[in-house]
Every structure is written in C-alpha cells, then in structure tokens.
Amino acid sequence: MKIELESKAVLSGQHFLNGDVACAEGALAVGCRFFAGYPITPATEIAERMARRLPQVDGVYMQMEDEIGSIAAVLGASYAGVKSMTATSGPGFSLMLENIGLAIMTETPCVVVNIMRGGPSTGQPTMPGQQDVMQARWGSHGDYEIIALAPSSVQEMFDLTIEAFNLSETYRVPTFVLADEIVGHMWERVNIPSAKAIQVVNRKKPENPPSEYAPFKPDEDLVPPMASFGEGYRFHATGLTHDENGRPRTDSAEVQQRLVQRLCEKIRRNADKIVKVERILLEDAEVAVVAYGIASRAALSAVRKARAQGIKAGLLRLVTVWPFPDKQIEKIAQKVKALVVPEMNYGQIVREVRRVAKETPVVFMSKLGEEPHKPAEILDALRRL
C-alpha cells in the first residue's frame, strides 16, 4: 500500500478524521516526538497513525511488548527531554497504573490517552464506556493528583491532546485524555490551525548550573524545573520518597509529608488555572445536566429540546474531569432545583457531583453497553424533575 508522505508536523487545514487520528495529530502538533504503545481496541488507530507519522517528523514510534513497557519507555523518553505519550484502553490502562505512579512521583511530563471501552476486565472491546474515570483518579497507589480531560468531539480530541501536553509540561504531572470509544472512533470535521497559532508549552528548565541543581526543589508554583538526561546535570530520580536533591529518604516522615503534600498541592492550588468547563444555557437554568464525553452530546440536544418545551434547562459540560470542577458545579447546584448526571458507567462522576451538590438532588442516569444515552431519555429525566 502506498502511503501519502506528509512531512509537516502540523497538518494545517480542514480534515475529515476520526477521534483517534485527530488525537495523534494533536500530539504531533504540540511537539510529541515519542510514542510507545501496545495495540488495543479501540485505541489502536492512534498507534497506527503515530507509526506512520512520527518517522516523517524525525520522531520515534515504539511498539513495546506490553503496556507496562510502553509507559516505562514513555517515562524514559520524557526524561531524555522528548515529549512523549502512549494510548491505550481499560485493560492496558490497568497495566500502566504502577508506572503512572512512578510518573507522578518522579514528576514526569507525559500524556496517556485512554479510549474507554466497556469493562470490567476484557469487557466489551468495541463498545463505549466511561468506566475508567475513577480509575484514572485513584488507580495507582498512594496519594496524588493528576489531570484528566474528557473530549466530546473529534475536534476536541485534537485540541485537548494539545492541552494535555501543555498541562503535563507545566505541572510535571501525567495527564490523561479520557475519551470514550465513540469519540475515539467517530468521524468529524477537524480544523487544524497553522503551526504558529498552536500554543505550545515546554517544561521549565533549570537556570542554575549543574552544581547547584536540586532536581526536586520547587519554584513558587510548587513545580521544580526539569533538566534532561545528557545535559550535564547528572541528577538522580527515584520512585522512592526523596528529598529535593532526589536522594531516597525512606526514613523520614517529614520528607514524606513534604513531598506528597507538594505533589498534591501543585495541582490543587492551580486548579483554577487548570479546570475548564463549558456552560450552556445555564444563566437562568432551573434544572441542569452535568455531563462529559459522549453523554454530553446527547445532553446538549436534550437541553435544547427542553428549552423548546419551556423547561429552563442548562448543561455544564466537564472538559476537565480531574481535578474535579468543584467550584463550578457548586455554583450551579446552588442555583438549580436538581441536577441530572448521565454517564456510561454504573455511577462514578455522579458521586463527585453529589458530594459537591450537597442538598441539591442529583439524578443519575446509567448506561452500559453499546448505546449511548438518547437525547429523549435525558429530556425525559429533565421533565420529571
């Protein structure tokens, strides 16, 4: 088969792509030059696109022996100074979790895309799910904070992959793109802007000489500047609890306290800068839907239909799932009579919404298997409130 040879990293222009491919293009556009992965439905198209595109832009596509090796290689490449990513689905994501913990502990910028399918276990590989959102937040052991974004369109697969890299580089934290299988496999129009118009954030580099470099000494924003291997800094990183010099400190409660606290606080304190939501028709809303990913598309349609029928409905679409948009939801929960949360799982984000909504009633709409929520079903729920 002859393949078309692009040579540009940013394929500016209008394209008709599926979500997985748009995700790969977003990564390339923001400067990702290393991908290590393992084939898995429904994320394989990302690997395939990267295998074709990365060598064209002097990058490296690496197909590892499993997902554990994939994420480990991604971390290695990132420490060598190259923006890196992997893409997988539930079973692979489960395998990656230990090294995601290592990425958190060693503050390794990297992006992990999880095109969510039905679980648990092998579940329904070709069917959509939103069942990994809590796993993304809590799956690795220990206390930590991560960032997770939930695209709901093919355009957003492109845009939010860029955003994920930028956040990951800014905060030195693994950042997840949590898309469901429908968004990953759906074909839509994508506008890829010019290279100049794409905002690219690179990790902070140390300004002091190697002799004064403490690899885990944070600046005021709680994020330490990051040297790369081979730059003469000769520093050590470890998954063990470590002090600011990277020296293992398995004996000090104080060091453990300070490190874990900082790893969490660098995200919590910057939550306002990280969190993004889309507010639709919420100004005068009396009832509202809180949704993300594929479920938010049906919710939008339902909200519009409800408005047409005289119901003052609105939609809060979560673009950022983690850190959780507490403030944004709280504000709406205080205004409306009730909230509806449709999710393609058996109740995950709804728990967070209930925690924040406090007294405001929250109606949960579960959906498992092939079909996403129908607008009519959500409309029905809005009408019954």
Partner 1 sequence: MTEKSLELKHPYERFLRKERMPHIWCEGCGNGIILNCFVRALDELNIDLNNVVVVSGIGCIGRISGYTNTDSFHTTHGRPIAFATGVKLAKPKLKVVVISGDGDLFAIGGNHFIHAARRNVDITVICANNFIYGMTGGQYGPTTPLEAWTTTTPYGNIEHAFNLVHLAAASGAVYVSRWTALHVRRLKESIKKALQKEGFSFIEAVSQCPEIYGRYNKMKTAISMMKWFKEASEVRNFSDPAKAEISPDKIIVGEFVDIEKPSYGRLLREMKAKLKTKQK
Q: What residues line the site for partner 1 (CB under 8 A)? A: 5, 7, 33-34, 36, 55-56, 58, 60, 62, 64-66, 68-70, 72-82, 84, 98-99, 101-102, 106, 228-240, 247-248
C-beta of 114: minimal distance to partner 1 in Å?
19
Which residues are bridge partners to 18 per DSSP? 187
Which residues are bridge partners to 180 per DSSP? 116
Residue (73 or 382) nearer to partner 1, CB: 73
C-beta of 111: minimal distance to partner 1 in Å?
14
CA distance 224 to 204: 8
CA distance 314 to 279: 8
Which among 202, 332, 323, 218 is positioned nearest to 274, based on CA atoms? Answer: 323
C-beta of 129: minimal distance to partner 1 in Å?
27
CA distance 142 to 145: 10
Residue (206 or 372) nearer to partner 1, CB: 206
C-beta of 173: minimal distance to partner 1 in Å?
17
CA distance 6 to 31: 16
C-beta of 203: minimal distance to partner 1 in Å?
14
- Nearest-10 Cα torsion for 85, 191, 15, 34: -10
Which residues lie below 8 Å from residue 368, measured CB to CB, with a gap of 6+?
A: 118, 129, 344, 345, 346
Residue (256 or 366) nearer to partner 1, CB: 256
CA distance 362 to 341: 7
C-beta of 39: minimal distance to partner 1 in Å?
15
CA distance 42 to 58: 26
Residue (62 or 318) nearer to partner 1, CB: 62
Residue (32 or 353) nearer to partner 1, CB: 32
Residue (106 or 270) nearer to partner 1, CB: 106
